[in-house]
């Protein structure tokens, strides 16, 4: 994990255009794959929703090195905000899509302040218990959240008088996911991102350069939670409802493992991991479909043990090796550097 984090900044500065081209190609491929199939469209929107949760996790966890386990709650906050605004108010729905991430951000910052003296296992335990407690609250506070039956049949998203269809939401979610991943990649290479990644390795060194580490951590937690909440909002907006079990503890496992499976060197790894997670757990051949989540769990173990760089990390390695072979062939003489 560390090798990739250390490798990056200067070298990949110039990769903006290829990144955009890859993203556009990926989006076109997905749209072509979906075709007119409603089922495949559902799968892809779910992947986008998971990808946003994974991207949210990427910022404090992979970049900042602090594992907050409340991501099920953040995604649920985004999802519930859309539903609650749609059912209990007459506010325009786009507001809910902004409000949810803001609320999640505020909750994450408050939780981060309350747990600022905790790290490692203790932080995981408390944030996990927060996730439990939040799920209990969504079932308990039935006057607000619809209780154990959740909220269903919410009104459709309308932007400036134009009602967004499910197809529209699908294409929109692809664009949002790619934009967020692109943004986080830029952020990773920015001075702020470098400070955050430095904090992960040696907090003291970052503190001694004059950057307040606790504030850095809070901002990363808040930003991550907002992105995850957007994923939750996408889920409930697309499916027209939410259930307390939707963002249960399973999503938490996925949120941690998606970036690892996809590759920790870039936020695009979280996107790849989300697509893999959904394909594994829902779109497996029917003979082994029952054990799809188990297959993903096994894949996680294999990646952790044998391939800690993840899918994208290995693709990059392959690309570098091929490039080197090509350049070795053309310029064998002056290529030696020490």
Partner 1 sequence: MTDLQLWISALEIGSFYGLIALCYLIVYQGALVFNFAIGGYAMMAGIATSWLATEQGAPVWLAMLFGVVLCVGSSVLTEMVVVRPMVRRSGHDELPKLIAVTAVLFALEQGAGAVFGRGSMPGQWLFDIEPIEMGEAVLDGAALQMFVVTGVVFALVAFWLNATRAGRMLRAAGDNPVAAQVLGLPTDRIRLTAFFVAGVIAAIAGIVFALKSGITFRSALPWSIKGFLAAVIGGTGGAWAPLVGGLLLGAIEVFVPFYLGGASVDYVILLLAAVFFVVRPQGFFARRIRV
List of residues 6+ apart from 201 with CB closer than 8 A: 2, 5, 65
- Binding to partner 1 (CB under 8 A) within 297-316 occurs at 297-298, 300-301, 304-305
* Other Cβ atoms within 10 Å of 27 Cβ, number: 15
What is the number of helices (H) and of strands (E) in the chain? 15, 4
- The residue among 63 and 93 lying less far from partner 1, judged by its C-beta, is 63
CA–CA separation, 184 and 53 (whole Å): 13
Q: Which residues are 242's β-sheet partners? A: 151
Main-chain phi, psi angles of 258, to 5 degrees? -55, -50
Q: Which of 182, 192, 253, 284 binds partner 1 (CB under 8 A)?
A: 253
* Among the residue ranges 78-86, 124-132, 172-180, 322-330, the one whose residues contact partner 1 (CB under 8 A): 124-132
CA–CA separation, 16 and 13 (whole Å): 7
249 binds partner 1 (CB under 8 A): yes
- The residue among 21 and 141 lying less far from partner 1, judged by its C-beta, is 141
List of residues 6+ apart from 320 with CB closer than 8 A: none
Q: What's the Rg (C-alpha) of the chain? A: 21
* Among the residue ranges 130-138, 161-169, 178-186, 327-335, the one whose residues contact partner 1 (CB under 8 A): 130-138
Supply the minimum distance, in Å, between the C-beta of residue 156 and partner 1: 32
- The residue among 10 and 305 lying less far from partner 1, judged by its C-beta, is 305
Residue in the structure block whose two tokens are 């070795």? 328
Q: Which of 290, 329, 337, 338 binds partner 1 (CB under 8 A)?
A: 290
Main-chain phi, psi angles of 153, to 5 degrees? 60, 45
- The residue among 226 and 299 lying less far from partner 1, judged by its C-beta, is 299
Closest CA relative to residue 238, chosen from 157, 308, 337, 149: 157
- The residue among 30 and 300 lying less far from partner 1, judged by its C-beta, is 300
Residue span 142-181 as binding mask against partner 1, x where in contact by CB under 8 A, dash where not: ----------------------------------------
CA–CA separation, 184 and 56 (whole Å): 9
**162: helix, strand or coil:** strand
- The residue among 132 and 192 lying less far from partner 1, judged by its C-beta, is 132
How many chain residues are in contact with partner 1, going by CB under 8 A? Answer: 38
Q: Which of 157, 256, 270, 278 binds partner 1 (CB under 8 A)?
A: 256
- The residue among 117 and 325 lying less far from partner 1, judged by its C-beta, is 117
Footprint of partner 1 (CB under 8 A)? 1, 65, 67, 114-115, 117-118, 120-122, 124-126, 128-130, 132-133, 136-137, 139-140, 249, 253, 256-257, 260, 290-291, 293-294, 296-298, 300-301, 304-305
């Amino acid at each position: 994990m560390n090798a990739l984090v250390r490798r990056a900044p200067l070298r990949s500065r110039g990769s903006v255009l290829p990144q955009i081209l890859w993203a556009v190609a990926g989006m076109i491929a997905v749209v072509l794959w979906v075709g007119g199939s409603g089922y495949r469209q559902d799968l892809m929107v779910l992947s986008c929703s998971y990808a946003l949760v994974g991207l949210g996790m990427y910022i404090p966890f992979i970049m900042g090195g602090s594992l907050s386990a409340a991501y099920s709650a953040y995604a649920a906050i985004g999802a519930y905000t859309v539903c609650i605004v749609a059912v209990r108010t007459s506010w325009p729905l786009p507001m809910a899509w902004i409000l949810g991430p803001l609320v999640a951000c505020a909750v994450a910052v408050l939780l981060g302040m309350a747990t600022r003296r905790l790290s490692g296992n203790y932080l995981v335990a408390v944030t996990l218990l927060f996730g439990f407690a939040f799920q209990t609250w969504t079932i308990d506070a039935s006057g607000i959240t619809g209780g154990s039956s959740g909220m269903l049949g919410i009104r459709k998203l309308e932007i400036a008088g134009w009602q967004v269809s499910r197809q529209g939401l699908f294409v929109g979610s692809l664009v949002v996911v790619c934009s967020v991943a692109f943004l986080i990649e830029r952020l990773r290479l920015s001075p702020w991102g470098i400070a955050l990644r430095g904090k992960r390795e040696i907090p003291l060194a970052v503190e001694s350069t004059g950057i307040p580490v606790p504030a850095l951590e809070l901002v990363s937690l808040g930003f991550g939670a907002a992105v995850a909440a957007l994923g939750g909002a996408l889920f409930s907006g697309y499916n027209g409802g939410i259930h307390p079990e939707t963002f249960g503890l399973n999503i938490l496992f996925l949120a941690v493992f998606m970036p690892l499976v996809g590759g920790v060197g870039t936020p695009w790894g979280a996107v790849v991991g989300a697509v893999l997670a959904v394909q594994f757990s829902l779109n497996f051949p029917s003979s082994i479909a029952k054990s799809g989540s188990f297959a993903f769990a096994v894949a996680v173990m294999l990646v952790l043990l044998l391939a800690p760089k993840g899918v994208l990390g290995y693709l990059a390695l392959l690309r570098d090796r091929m490039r080197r072979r090509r350049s070795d062939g053309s310029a064998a003489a002056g290529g030696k550097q020490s």
